[in-house]
Amino acid sequence: MKVFEQIRVGRARGVVWGVLADFGHLSRWARNVDHSSLVTTQREGVGAARRVQVGRVVLIERVVTWEPNASLAYALEGLPVVRGVVNAWTLEDDGGATKVSLSSRIDANPVVGWVMGQVLARDLRKLLAGLKSYAEAQA
């Protein structure tokens, strides 16, 4: 199953990428994340990983795609009842702004996938809103 959300951020793609590429500091702008930190010495690129805490849930997010100013994807480790989830961000120029797409690909049985898709769709919207607010406040 796949869920998809999109938003327009009123900043250049390089600014938006700069926020996403600061991989260990997700909690600076993601409103639903209580804490985030790198768990690898590698700060960027495929293989970099961060620990993310949302309430009592703790995940490891490991980068699987890193294309500067274009796309970032990471696998989520630690979610119960699913075989896997990959979140993928895509950035596209939109005049002087950036069109940001965020999708989650969920590997689970159909019922669990549908339920998890509903939860993740809500979370994607929160992530996009937090990214937009934070990036647009950057000088």
Question: In terms of Cα–Cα distance, which of 57, 63, 64, 55 is closest to 24?
Answer: 63
What is the C-alpha R_g of the chain? 14
pTM of the model: 0.94
Give mean pLDDT in consecutive 10-residue pieces for the chain, a chain of 139 residues. Answer: 95 97 96 95 97 93 98 93 94 96 94 88 94 92
Q: What is the CATH number of the domain that holds 8?
A: 3.30.530.20
Encode pLDDT of 7-38 as tens digits.
999 999 999 999 999 999 999 999 999 999 99
pLDDT value at position 81? Answer: 84
CA separation for the pair 129, 58 (Å, rounded): 22
Question: In terms of Cα–Cα distance, which of 23, 8, 25, 22 is closest to 100?
Answer: 8
Alpha carbon of 112 to those of 1, 23, 118, 135: distances in Å? 10, 29, 10, 34
Count of beta carbons in the 10 Å neighbourhood of residue 90: 16
Number of independent structural domains in the chain: 1
What range does the domain containing 73 cover? 2-137
